[in-house]
Chain A
Amino acid sequence: MHLLPILSENRSLKKLYKIIRPALLFLLFTNVLGQISGGPIRIGAKNFNEGYLLGEILAQLLEHHGFSVVRQFNLGGTLVCFEALKNGEIDMYPEYSGTIAEQILRGQQDLSLAEIRTAVGENFGLNISPSYGFNNTYAMAVKRDLAIRYDLQNISDLADLPDLRMAFSYEFLERQDGWKNLSGVYQLPQKPVGIEHGLAYQALVEDQIDLIDIYSTDGEISRYDLFILEDDRHFFPEYQAVTFYRTGLPSSVIRIVNLLSNRFDEAQIQELNAQVVFAGKPYSEVARNFLSGMHLITDTGEPSRVHLLSDISEKTLEHLELTFIALLGAMLVAIPAGISVYNTPVIAKPLLYISGLLQTIPSIALLALMIPLFGIGVLPAVIALFLYALLPLLRNTIVALFGIDPVLKKVATGIGLTRWQRLRYVEIPLAIPTIVAGIRTAAVINVGTATLAAFIGAGGLGEFIVTGLSLNNTGMILKGAIPAVLLAFMIELIFELIEKIMVPRHLRQKIAR
């Protein structure tokens, strides 16, 4: 297993590869205009169960018709997918009409599919397919026995049950099409509490709570035999599943995409979701069975594509690649910057503030900000990690240099060292222990943050974690999390060794003091 590519045999080749790979990817991305004719179809998917499943169905359908396909799954949410699509980083992804209306067209919820198609075409040069035939909207779910006990049919029936215990996802509590307006429209008196969506079903099944918000296509509905209350006042907007795609695609591709129109209903997508979430089937298999059941493809038995669970070592290698390219870049920038700042202290503070500010941007937001600038994939992830690594490196370099005993600096000057000689022979050697500690901090931060890079399609161990989280699959989460933890641990050990070699003991003690 090549856990440490630097130490493996083809050292220089691999190094070279590591260095040129981002450049190659950059070229690939900047070359997207040439994408229209030929080249693979790049399919995105949001990082949740149904997103993967629909993305995979699209992918296999196109592959069946002879197109080569690149899967950019695991994209972190609507914003990331939409930015990637708008910037031509992906060609299509499955989306929901209500989401497009609310989050992309900004709050015009009651748009029809035709109106949405016109709006995204005019504003962004994008298009949507006809509906897949199902509506994945919010719904109110209770256990069947409770519905029978209180004779519940509609959401309006809830107005007579003020003591019903409700728990909603935090998102639902806040959204325009969530509780705030729902309770107004239906005059509901209850006081709901917030709950993490992943835990809501469990709490409902165990009678901890009586009513939760769900997505109407969740696999849990059939599994737990839940009762969905009728939205009798038509409060919830339509969330018709569609393919969201770039207008420049060849008509042959669009014709194939449109084969999915009205192929599903809610019960069917619930069943497919349940197969992935509860039966633990790989979504590639569920997708293939569905497509062959619909006679949209002929089942060739074994899937031709790469296995979903690709090798841990490959992902570890990708992870290290992300981490160390970013770290190396940050070292090349931050350490010289720290040193030059030391010679002009006026800019030290502003620079530290700026890099400190970068650090406070939530990782996922920073990654999302990278997309309009650098697209998706390795490059934006490396740049984001690079920005995160700057602060510890810059701060430690500056603090180390300013922290050197002023008497030593005075004597070095007094005996006749030039400013540069003083830096070279006295200050930098004395600053090295603190700088190495900064590199160590940056490396560990990067290994951790790099797991989030999977959200923008950069690969790495985060792919297991993100997929595992979305599918509620602990085994898969651990497949990413354990190597990531081991990596962080190994980095700590390696740096401990480096410090032992590079820093004489008495200086180490001095730092500790």
Chain B
Amino acid sequence: MNAVSYHKISHNFETTQVLSKISFDILKNEILVIIGRSGSGKSTLLQMINGLILPTEGHIEIFEEKIDYPNITKLRLGIGYLVQGAALFPHMNVRQNISILARINGISPEKTELRIDTLLRLVDLDPAYLSKYPHQLSGGEQQRVGICRAMMLDPKIFLLDEPFAALDPTTKFEIHRELLALQKAEPRTIVMVTHDLQEAVKLADRILILEKGVIQQLDQTGNILNKPANAFVANFIREQIIEKAI
């Protein structure tokens, strides 16, 4: 079963075409990483899934149903969302940030507490943090809270839009480990956007390379590295490896 299917998706922003006639499927419970340079359209592609950006042409199916835009909120509650810097609500403490969706959607306090406990353990965050405010946390801690907030309602799909770009390598390493642990404990479809090939290779089951709104290659991680589909992909991989080496 496909978690997400893109059907001939195009998207125009003002006069420029950001995505052009893209079709592909995201498999249930796989980790798909979308990688590309700035302006390749990768973030736009991701935000089509939770309806923050609408296709100019084409349509998207989530679990084989067309997105019902008038009732998009209901769909979004089943899709976790994490962005760069986590964007925690600054006026809420950690507990309030994590539990907001549970609170406004009528989940019982007991269930909510249990879920908070589970999530904190999975991302390795001390419960003492629950009463702290976002500005008192480090970048990595904020991202862990962000993951918990996104996972509160146990969504089937988790969207990550370059969430770890600003973190230092050690923190990034730890948080990758926790993300994989989470996936092992609670398998779900994860779609992540990054410009970091190393991160993609480490996390992805499959990688999608996007350039100028067109898919350059969508394949198993091994195949991307060993059998680049075209000169752009080969060049892109070489550039990334050299950049890391320097």
Which A residues are closer than 8 A to B by beta carbons? Answer: 405, 407-408, 410-418, 421, 425-426, 429-430, 504, 506-507, 510
> Quick check: B83 and A418 within 8 Å, CB to CB?
no
B106 within 8 A of A: no
> Quick check: B73 and A417 within 8 Å, CB to CB?
yes
Chain A nearest CB, measured from B4 CB (Å): 15
Of the residues B47, B80, B85, B135, contact of A506 by C-beta under 8 Å: B135
- Which residues in A have their C-beta under 8 angstroms from that of B245? none
> Quick check: A408 and B89 within 8 Å, CB to CB?
yes
Specify the main secondary structure of chain A where it touches its partner. Answer: helix
Sample of 28 A–B contacts (CB below 8 Å):
A405-B87, A407-B83, A407-B85, A408-B87, A410-B83, A410-B87, A411-B81, A411-B87, A414-B47, A414-B52, A414-B159, A415-B76, A415-B77, A415-B80, A415-B81, A415-B101, A416-B79, A417-B100, A417-B101, A417-B104, A425-B100, A425-B104, A426-B89, A430-B90, A504-B133, A506-B90, A506-B133, A507-B91
Chain A nearest CB, measured from B106 CB (Å): 12
- Which residues in B have their C-beta under 8 angstroms from that of A510? 90
Chain A nearest CB, measured from B91 CB (Å): 5
> Quick check: B104 and A421 within 8 Å, CB to CB?
yes
Tell me, in angstroms, the Cα distance from A415 to B77 when the chains sit together: 6
In the complex, per-residue mask of B96-108: 1 if CB is within 8 Å of any chain A CB, else 0: 0000110010000
3 nearest CB pairs, A to B: A416-B76, A416-B77, A414-B81
Residue of A nearest to B79 (CB): A416
Specify the main secondary structure of chain B where it touches its partner. Answer: mixed
Chain B nearest CB, measured from A503 CB (Å): 9
Beyond A405-B87, A506-B133, A510-B90, is A414–B50 a contact (Cβ under 8 Å)? yes
- Which residues in A have their C-beta under 8 angstroms from that of B79? 416
Of the residues B77, B87, B159, contact of A407 by C-beta under 8 Å: B87
B149 within 8 A of A: yes
> Quick check: B87 and A416 within 8 Å, CB to CB?
no
Identify 20 new A-B residue pairs, CB closer than 8 A, beyond the known A415-B80, A416-B101.
A407-B85, A407-B87, A408-B87, A410-B52, A414-B50, A414-B52, A414-B76, A415-B76, A416-B76, A416-B77, A416-B79, A417-B73, A417-B100, A417-B104, A425-B100, A425-B104, A430-B91, A506-B90, A507-B90, A507-B91
- Which residues in A have their C-beta under 8 angstroms from that of B210? none
Tell me, in angstroms, the Cα distance from A377 to B81 when the chains sit together: 59
B150 within 8 A of A: yes
Tell me, in angstroms, the Cα distance from A408 to B83 when the chains sit together: 10
Chain B nearest CB, measured from A141 CB (Å): 68
